[in-house]
Amino acid sequence: MTEEIQRAQAREMYASLLDVSSPERAGAALMIDVVYGTGTAGEWAAAWKDAQPRPDPALVQTCPRRMQEGSPVAPAGSPYAAREGLDTWRAQGGIIGQEKIGLGCSWCGSLHPDRFMELVREGWVVGPTDKTYKCYLGRNRTEEEIAERKAEWLSAANGIYATIVRLGEEARKSPDVIEAEAEEQWQARELPFVQVSSQKAKFYFQHLSDAQKREFVDLLNAKAVKIGYPGHFYTRPFFVSYEPREADKS
């Protein structure tokens, strides 16, 4: 059998796989291309792209993390292709329930930067992480919700509060001293972890525009950003720099 006949038969086999989005067709396209040089891998990538639903042009975007971490040589149909215009903002995020807060990036799951800045201005809590490019955003619980959590903490039969009371009574401390120690425990070690509700979103700082980065820094300088436990960034965002303290300048 001549090479031309083999190539023609290979192309016929490829053409018989009708579902352009199926993994079987993708595998056949690559195998046939490698063995016979038919160019079918590129054809499949183009067909796959044409078969995808067309998103709202206003929601099309390029994820900056895709461009940083993707591959410039990956085909357009690959989820790792470092090419522009392949991503969208959609009602889905990187955390369960994030879609209730706002649109998320189809590639990295980040909350939309406009929504992020809007919620930061409203007083939502920015949760620090050990990464320079990532944070979490959570809604502050209301005073009523915090009071409910505290009531649960106080009423737990074998909880921390009950232990403080028992140990205090065994040490013959006065009720006032016991209550003061319990309140100190609540304020220092319990409250920071219940102030933020389970309504949260993930955010990657790469999505901020230059103007939004400047605004975020201005809000930080004005102490208008609520930062979650421990109350400061232990790994500062990559676009934030700190001026040295006076004691460090000498």
Three state DSSP letters for 195-229: CEEEEEEEEEHHHCCHHHHHHHHHHHHCCCCEECC
**Is the C-alpha dihedral spanning 166, 172, 174, 180 positive or negative?**
negative
| Dist CA 92 CA 248 (whole Å) | 46
If residue 154 lies in a helix (H) or strand (E), which one and from where to where? helix 143-155
Q: What is the pLDDT of residues 173-224, one digit of tens each?
A: 999 999 999 999 999 989 888 888 877 899 999 999 999 999 999 999 999 9
Long-range residue pairs from 216-221, CB within 8 A, at least 24 positions apart, any chain: 216/117, 216/120, 216/240, 219/120, 219/121
The per-residue pLDDT for 18 is 43
- Which spans in 70-142 are helix H? 113-122
The per-residue pLDDT for 198 is 75
- The pLDDT mean for the chain works out to 84
| Dist CA 121 CA 123 (whole Å) | 5
The per-residue pLDDT for 73 is 85
The per-residue pLDDT for 99 is 93
| Lookup: tokens for 105 | 């990036």
Q: What is the pLDDT of residues 26-44, one digit of tens each?
A: 555 556 565 556 565 566 5
Q: Angle at Cα 182 formed by Cα 176 and Cα 186, nearest 5°?
A: 140
Residue 37: name the closest of 6, 77, 16, 72 by CA: 6
The per-residue pLDDT for 225 is 95
The per-residue pLDDT for 192 is 84
Looking at 45-54, 59-68, 98-107, 168-177, which range is the least confident one? 45-54
| Cα dihedral: 184, 190, 191, 194 (round 10) | -170
Quick one: pLDDT band at residue 54, thresholds 50, 70, 90?
confident
pLDDT of 89 > 60? The answer is yes
List of residues 6+ apart from 63 with CB closer than 8 A: 87, 105, 106, 107, 108, 110, 207
The per-residue pLDDT for 72 is 87
Residue bearing the bigger pLDDT, 165 or 50: 165
pLDDT of 143 > 60? The answer is yes
| Lookup: tokens for 59 | 């929601």
pLDDT of 14 > 60? The answer is no
| Lookup: tokens for 208 | 């901020």
Residue bearing the bigger pLDDT, 9 or 58: 58
- SS3 letters for 232-243? CCCCCCCCCCCC
Q: What is the pLDDT of residues 91-112, one digit of tens each?
A: 988 888 999 999 999 999 999 9
Q: β-strands 134-140, 60-61: how paired?
A: unpaired
Residue 133: name the closest of 79, 65, 86, 212 by CA: 65
pLDDT of 13 > 70? The answer is no
Cα 108 off chain centre by: 7
Share of the chain above pLDDT 90, in %: 56
